[in-house]
Structure 1
């Protein structure tokens, strides 16, 4: 999960949807758990859906991590 704090306008919908993950510090400064517990996934999804400026981006738990493959070694061609 990533929250774009530049986009966030402090509407607070995320705080209501997932209070264990999002909270206000003072009147407008949003604080959030960068690595929320797996058990809060549904609440975090609701918070992202409720955000009127779409400041919360989620990664899909079912997406495989990108694989890193080594490039094939370059083999010089034989010159005849």
Structure 2
């Protein structure tokens, strides 16, 4: 699954990082970003929950295949 974060919408709540710390981190300004190696595809059981936990829906999941 491919993941994108709308950086214009992200408010840096950090719910994604708390929910899926193997996928998300926060930059120096506190906004969410993907960890290295996660931009091309992610297989984490908490990914859908992390997207649902985002209070501003800045995370989009793209099914592949």
For structure 1, the residue ranges without an aligned partner over 5 or more in a row are 65-80
Gaps spanning 5+ residues in structure 2: where? none
TM-score by length of 2: 0.76
Determine which structure has more spread, i.e. the larger CA radius of gyration.
1
> Relative CO higher for 1 or 2, CA cutoff 8 Å, sep ≥ 6?
2
RMSD value, Cα: 1.7
Q: Which has the higher helix share?
A: 1
Number of equivalenced pairs:
60
If the length of structure 1 is used for normalisation, what is the TM-score? 0.64
